[in-house]
Amino acid sequence: MIITMSVSAERKDIQNVKSKVEELGYATKLFQGERKTVIHVIGVTEREKLMKAVESMPGVENLVPILRPFKMASREFHPENTVISINGKKIGNKEIVVIAGPCAVESEENYLEIAELVKAAGANFLRGGAFKPRSSPYSFQGLGEKGLEIMAKAREKTGLGIVTEVVSEVDVPLVFKYADVFQIGARNMHNFHLLKTVGRFNKPVMLKRGMSATIEEWLMSAEYILSEGNPNVFLCERGIRTFERYTRNTLDISAVPVIDNLSHLPVIVDPSHASGDSKYVCALAKAAIAAGADGLMVEVHIDPSRALSDGKQSLKPDVFMELMQDLKKVAQAVGRTL
Ligand code: PEP
Ligand code: MN
């Protein structure tokens, strides 16, 4: 529910309304604009009761219920685009953000080399998994803290922020120490305890779409993070599971404009996990930017044939370099920059 206070509302009116709402057991958030003050009421369960209690209080201009099941993630709640500042870079504004690197951190030498190459190509953030959620328990599971240390070294050398996945609640404080962005992977999009935990930390979160999740379920997961107090969430479309087998997943390109319509949160696309095949990554990356995505996450490896995970979908550095040049043109065509 959004309560708009009239221009003539006094401080005590605003305070009284806020207290009344809190008395009814709801959390509030106050937005004081130049002319008007707006009070956001979070998690309303008894709308009629709240409206009755507040609508005729001094200073109240109107009350607008948020009808969507996701509240704080909705455009009704926050009409302006959310822009997140991370390590000197903004996501959600005109500039396209590119996150690149290998699927997993494999060794220091290998990671630092890839980091320098993707930076030279124009990437803005480094990716890499230290904790790998693999479909098989027998596949490479990541280097753990050692992997995080290597990423921190790469940040020191390149100045690029690091995006890395946290797979369990117990690892959140550890990953917090090293990462610039918490990545929540597709397999954990429904892990509400993990979502709540990252919601209590002051660090941006990239929330990937679950492989069989609807857009509404995905936004409800974002809501879990936002409602714990962390406003810095961006979404990552990484393909959904369909009947098609020539690609690993099916990139739901329509999710980009749909999210833009429903939510103020930035949305990026991961064409690597969406296609599962390096042959298709560049086409999907360009399509994503053309469709209005705020950025991309792309897997790049020095020698994809020897990668410990996701080699088939990883771009070689020279192909990534070329892609970045092509993306500049696509970005320009849709009024963005890269
Ligand atoms: C990843 O980005 O490393 C990853 C595991 O992707 P997803 O969670 O989308 O499968
Ligand atoms: Mn991967």
Task: Tell me the per-residue pLDDT of 53-82, one tens digit each, with 9 for 90 and over.
Answer: 999 999 999 999 988 899 899 998 888 999
Model confidence at 243: pLDDT above 80? yes
Token reading at 103: 């699927």
CATH of domain 2-64: 3.30.70.1140
- pLDDT grade for 104, boundaries at 50, 70 and 90: very high
pLDDT at 62: 94
Pocket of ligand 1 (CB under 6 A): 103, 129, 133, 165, 185-187, 208, 238, 273
- Taking the centre of ligand 1 as the mean of its atom positions, its distance from the CA of residue 183, in whole angstroms, is 9
Q: Where are the domains of the chain?
A: 2-64, 84-333
Q: Are 240 and 252 in contact (CB under 8 A)?
A: yes
Q: What share of the chain in percent tops pLDDT 90?
A: 91
- In this structure, what are the phi and psi dihedrals at residue 181, rounded to the nearest 5 degrees? -140, 130
Query: How remote is the CA of residue 167 from the centroid of ligand 1, in Å?
Result: 11
Predicted local distance difference test score (pLDDT) of residue 67: 86
34 has a pLDDT exceeding 80: no
Nearest-ligand number for the alpha carbon of 163: 1
Single-letter amino acid, residue 38? V
* CA gap 27, 222 in Å, rounded: 18
* H-helix or E-strand spanning residue 237: strand 233-237
* Same fold: 2-64 with 84-333: no
At residue 9 the predicted structure's pLDDT band, cuts being 50, 70 and 90, is: very high
Q: Which residues pair with 129 in a beta bridge?
A: 104
Q: Is the confidence at residue 29, as pLDDT, over 90?
A: no
The residue whose CB lies within 8 Å of the most ligand 1 atoms, and thus the one to mutate among 132, 141, 238, 298, is 238
Range 277-306 average pLDDT:
98
Domain covering 84-333 in this structure, CATH number: 3.20.20.70
Residue 247 reports pLDDT greater than 80: yes
The residue whose CA has the least distance to atom 6 of ligand 1 is 185
* Lookup result for tokens 């935990």: 197
Q: What span, in angstroms and rounded, lies between the C-alpha atoms of 293 and 174?
A: 30
